Chain A
Amino acid sequence: MTSARPDHEAIVELVPSGARVLDLGCGDGALLAQLVERKSVLGRGVEVDEAKIRACVSRGLSVRHGNIEDGLADFPDGMFDLVVLSQTIAYLNRPLLVLKEMARVGRSAIISFENAGYWGVRYRVLRGEGVGNPLASGLPRIRAITLPQFQETLQQLDLRAETRVFLRGAARVTRWPSFLADAAVYRVTKA
């Protein structure tokens, strides 16, 4: 079984078998369900949308309804081996708070995001099409995150990148990721 989302595939590979995993903004549980099936993780999720949580429970997942920006106060320090934030950080109002909380409740964290430094994005900007979701799409606002920006944030929060996976579609990017990768998956831990 492969995932519809390329970053999911990369995340699954970064998760050790049997780990205790918390997925923040877990949606309908697609990633968690894969982690349970393929990596036998003990999975938990947090999701804000009621219908998506019902979908998670239908998949047999244990998910708490809530807003991850209200903190993860329900979870004790170090309760998880891994805390996952996939394709969600760009939508957060308080990303630093969430990253700090992830570092508190987990030993490591996996964060995936779209690279705003990708050449395709730069090209759109040059053409005057702007960054992020177009106004007419009505989609939520999104933060444009580049790889150097993300690295700087990690440093600021005393976090260290253990593993970095750069993607263009489903393919791995090894050279000039800042420019050639459309998405990045970082596994980070406390420095």
Chain B
Amino acid sequence: MIVHAQQITFDQKLVLQSGATLGPITLAYETYGTLNVDRSNAILICHALSGDAHVAGRYSPQDRKPGWWDEAVGPGKAFDTDKYFILCANVIGGCAGSTGPSSINPATGRPYGLSFPVVTVADMVEAERWLLDALGIPSLLCVTGGSMGGMQSMQWAVSYPERVRSAIVLASTARVSAQSIALNEVPRQAIYADPNWNEGDYYGKEAPNAGLAVARMIGHITYLSETSMREKFGRRLQHREQYGYDFATEFEVESYLKYHGNRFTARFDANSFLYITKAIDYFDLSQGHGDLAEAFRNVTAKFLVLSYSSDWLYPPEQSEELVRALLRNGIDASYVEIQSDYGHDAFLLEVERLGELTRDFLAKVQRETSAPVGDNGSVAKDEPVEKVIPLATWSAARNARVAGQGNA
């Protein structure tokens, strides 16, 4: 699949959750497949911390590597580009074509650096909504993503219930835990500690690559599991038969982290890392609602929630907390904990089982929601044997309740 990078610029200013404004805003995005005539087959994929808009395919036949989720997105794959119109945008605050701290601040003519306003997951979603509006997509068949991509998916369903028909949330959480914040703060400290960081003012100079590499190494540890590390590296030594009794890179696992840490600095901006991890830390859908279930009160999207048994960054219990909040609202939700040794990375790797689930799930959403809103096409009007709550599903009952409480 040959794909093209695209960009769009909005001249207006986005009012951020913090109250600050940001604009003009450029978004890098890619689309795959064809939008159907009634514009009802669009799927938005949201990327995670270090991802970008290049989800699938190659830019040219010579391109060495495909997009970050090529195994799951393409013709006949879990997100089938023969059936669906799939799009993904680089988040604001990022460094892969969308406006972020490395972009030029129009007010000064210099890169933003730390003068870039702090953005949140809700702000990322707002920018994505602008893109949808610009492309003329009234509603999403599905919004999906893993990790921070899952957070954006939930935020979409909460912020724009009328525009989201389903959400597939992978390896994510509705409320980022203290452990996850800690695992974001230590990498940030590694960047702050790099003298090249210079309070974020390093563009055109030496970048804080040592700090960013350490940050990425910590990230990689959290994406694996004890089992996957044991299987992948064990205690094997790299280029050595026996211990050297020195501090050279000696174990395979050290070599792996160092390699990935350094490679990351070639494609990622340290300030973007700070801003995006901050957005993750702030993510708590229950904020301002008292409890999490309240946050989902107006949500009408059908949910498919997947967790992975060995994911300790966003462990299954956190997905279960989300599922509880959904079910308590009578939201149509399925939950599967996928047995996998791959840790958090499993959401990128376990694509076969993902595909098994998404194919039928998406087909059903498409069938059910192609009927006019409020008319559940799958429910036949049989003879009622006894008094039961009418055929008009829970969501209608819930909406009535919501309306009632709205007056309180």
A contact residues vs B (CB 8 Å cutoff):
16-20, 36, 39-40, 42, 50, 53-54, 56-66, 73-76, 79, 81
Contact B332 A65 (CB under 8 A): no
Q: How far is the CB of A41 from chain B (nearest CB, A)?
A: 9
Name which of B302, B320, B327 has the most chain A CB atoms within 10 A of its CB. B327
Q: Determine the distance from Cα of A75 to Cα of B323 in the docked complex, in whole angstroms.
A: 10
Distance A56 CA – B356 CA, assembled complex (angstroms):
11
Task: Check A18/B386 contact, CB under 8 A, given A42-B379, A50-B338, A64-B333.
Answer: no
Q: Is the C-beta of B218 less than 8 angstroms from some C-beta in chain A?
A: no
A39 to B361, CA, bound (A): 21
Number of A-B contacts defined by CB within 8 Å: 86
A74-B382 in contact (CB<8A): no
Closest residue of chain B to A19 (Cβ to Cβ) is B388
**Contact at B335–A65, with CB atoms within 8 Å?**
yes
Chain A nearest CB: distance from B297 CB in Å?
Answer: 13
Which of B339, B360, B388 touches A50 (beta carbons < 8 Å)? B339
Q: A36-B378, A57-B304 given. 15 additional CB < 8 A pairs? A: A17-B385, A18-B384, A19-B388, A20-B389, A40-B382, A42-B379, A50-B336, A50-B338, A54-B356, A58-B360, A62-B302, A62-B333, A64-B327, A74-B324, A81-B389
Q: Which of A53, A60, A73, A74 contacts B364 (CB 8 A)?
A: A60
Check if B353 is an interface residue, CB within 8 A of chain A: yes
Complex Cα–Cα for A4 and B370 (A): 33
**8 A Cβ contacts from B338-385 to A:** 338-339, 353, 356-357, 359-361, 363-364, 378-385
Contact B388 A79 (CB under 8 A): no
The B167-226 residues at the A interface (CB cut-off 8 A) are none
Residues A40 and B338 in contact, CB atoms below 8 Å apart: no
Q: How far is the CA of A53 from the CA of B390 in the complex (A)?
A: 28
Q: Are A54 and B379 in contact (CB under 8 A)?
A: no
Contact with A along B315-328 (1 / 0, CB 8 A): 00000100110011
| Secondary structure type dominating chain B contacts | mixed
Which residue of B has the minimal Cβ distance to A18?
A: B391
Contacts of A75 in B (CB 8 A): 327-328
Tell me which residues across on chain B come within 8 A of A19, comparing CB atoms: 388
B361 A18 Cβ-Cβ under 8 A: no
Answer yes or no: B337 CB below 8 A from chain A CBs.
yes
Closest to B368 in A: A60
CB distance from A75 to the nearest CB of B (A): 6
Least Cβ distance of A127 to chain B in Å? 41
- How long is the Cα–Cα vector from A110 to B101 in the complex, in angstroms? 60
Q: A18-B388, A20-B388 are in contact. Are A42 and B360 (CB under 8 A)?
A: no
B333 in contact with A57 (CB, 8 Å): no
Which interface residue of A17, A58, A73, A75 has the most chain B CB atoms within 10 A?
A17
In the complex, what residues of A have CB within 8 A of residue B382's CB?
17-18, 39-40
Contact of B393 with A by CB under 8 A = yes
Give the CA-CA distance A58 to B73 in the complex, in Å. 19
Residues of chain B lying within 8 A (CB to CB) of residue A74: 323-324, 327-328
A47 nearest CB neighbor, chain B only: B336
Across the interface, do A81 and B332 meet the contact criterion of CB distance under 8 Å? no
| CB pair A79 B379 closer than 8 Å | no
Contacts of B390 in A (CB 8 A): 18
Q: What residue of chain A has the Cβ atom nearest to residue B333's Cβ? A: A62
**A66 lies within 8 A of B388 (CB):** no
Q: Which of A42, A53, A56, A61 contacts B394 (CB 8 A)?
A: A42
Is B330 part of the contact surface with A, judged by Cβ < 8 Å? Answer: yes
**B334 within 8 A of partner (CB):** yes
In the docked arrangement, what's the CA distance between A37 and B390, Å? 17
Query: Contact check: which of A36, A42, A54, A76 meets B357 at CB < 8 Å?
Result: A54
- Chain B residues with CB under 8 A of A61: 334
A105 to chain B, nearest CB (A): 10
Q: List 11 A-B contacts (CB under 8 A).
A: A18-B382, A40-B380, A42-B393, A54-B353, A54-B356, A56-B334, A57-B336, A58-B359, A58-B360, A62-B332, A79-B330
